[in-house]
Amino acid sequence: MNWYEKLNQYFPIEEMKSKDHIEALLDEKGDIYHKDEGKKHVLMYAELDDFIFIDYLFVSKDARGEGLGSKLIDKLKKKNKPIILEVEPVNYEDTDTAKRLKFYQRQGFKHANTIGYERRSLATNEVNKLEILYWAPNDESEETIFQAMQKTYKLIHTFKDKELYGESYQPVHEVLSMDEENKHNIFDELS
């Protein structure tokens, strides 16, 4: 099974970029977009001057519990930049969502509880809500994380979207929002 098939089997369709999209990022944005692949893992991430965005992290079921995910995250942490990623909210019918959140919580990630993220999927046409998690080595603010997510959305998520999918994703201001009043912490749901 190739790297894309592994990702495609693990991540929901509404979160998956097409193979052409990822390959275009690797080819044309190879200075910032990277693939770290091994027999038991696939890590796709963007590294910019001031932050890292994890696009996909897959560890095969037979390798879970071996510390491979932690080693991959630790390798990124050594760069001493904020690390940002998107996760699905806890779904009690899918136990993997809670396991994923607990994993990132153990890695020291925080929930950006003032950042809202809702994007219409070009694959399903449904609105998909995701949560933003981040690791901040220098106590970066959620405002800084919000700005990094806006940059990620424009540089990575919507890269060549019209050309690759036949239509464009929504503009960033419709997808990402910041609301100090609407704080909730998804890690509280795990207790």
Nearest alpha carbon to residue 171 among 144, 156, 153, 188: 153
The pTM score is: 0.92
Enumerate the domain spans of the chain: 3-190
- pLDDT tens for each residue of the chain, 191 residues long: 899 999 999 888 889 999 999 999 999 999 999 999 999 999 999 999 999 999 999 998 887 778 999 999 999 999 999 999 999 876 656 667 778 888 999 999 999 999 999 999 998 899 999 999 999 999 999 999 999 999 999 999 999 999 999 999 999 999 999 986 666 666 665 55
User: Are 68 and 59 a contacting pair, CB within 8 Å?
Assistant: yes
Distances (CA, A) of 78 to 20, 37, 74, 101: 30, 19, 6, 21
Domain 3-190 has CATH 3.40.630.30: yes
Angstrom CA distances, 108 to 1, 113, 181, 190, stand at: 32, 15, 24, 15
